[in-house]
Amino acid sequence: MENSTLYNYFELTKKLSRETLDLITANSDEEFDSAFDNWLTQAISRMEANKLNYSKLDENGLSSVLAASLTTGEISVTQEQNSNGHVDLTIKLNNSSTPRTKLGEAKIWRGKEYHIKGLDQLLNRYTTGRECRGFVISYVQQKDIKGLFEDLRKHIDSEKPFNLEGLCLNHNIKWSFLSNHKHNSGELITICHIGCNLY
């Protein structure tokens, strides 16, 4: 019995949190993206709860905190890994029969144009078209993150940067939305825009 897949699964469930289990047992990129959303939300919430400790950190320092919070034995998160340049965050599922990689660009909020600069880097420099859904996170150190992200979404809908397909979509994480872009690989790339409230 100890060699059976079912036995191994039950042994694994005893050791891992539900969120981790969802990540490593995802059968599709969509399931992985959904499980990662929960993981990312928890990491951002921990950063927000400890924002006073991070007030003097720059983008790299804040991204180091986020990377450490996201990393487990099953998920590796590296900073400044090369993917046609040095992408801020690279997330890889370890020991998976199906390789899953996410790329993330991180910015301290300095206005919507600066966030869109991160989107440009992610889509037009780092993304190959092979990765799961990417994300641009803005560390917001000023009041009214809700209003800032509503304005950012309207701006992207209006300007349609980087071959935006349709309009931005609602997302289930607070202060976030999704955008779909026709990539030079021919793939439709979905990006999650998300704010971390450090005000």
Query: Which is it for strands 134-140 and 188-197: parallel, antiparallel or unpaired?
Result: parallel
Angle (CA) 179 94 187, round 5°:
30
CATH classification of the domain holding 121: 3.40.91
Q: Tell me: the pLDDT tens digits for 44-84? A: 999 999 999 999 999 999 999 999 999 988 889 999 765 56
Q: Residue 126 carries which side chain, given as an amino acid letter?
A: Y
For residue 189, list its beta bridge partners: 181
- Pick the more confident residue, 91 or 23: 91
One-letter amino acid of 115: H
Structural domain of residue 12, as residue ranges? 5-197
Q: Label residue 1 by pLDDT band (50, 70, 90).
A: very low
d(CA 188, CA 96): 24
Q: Name the domain count of the chain.
A: 1
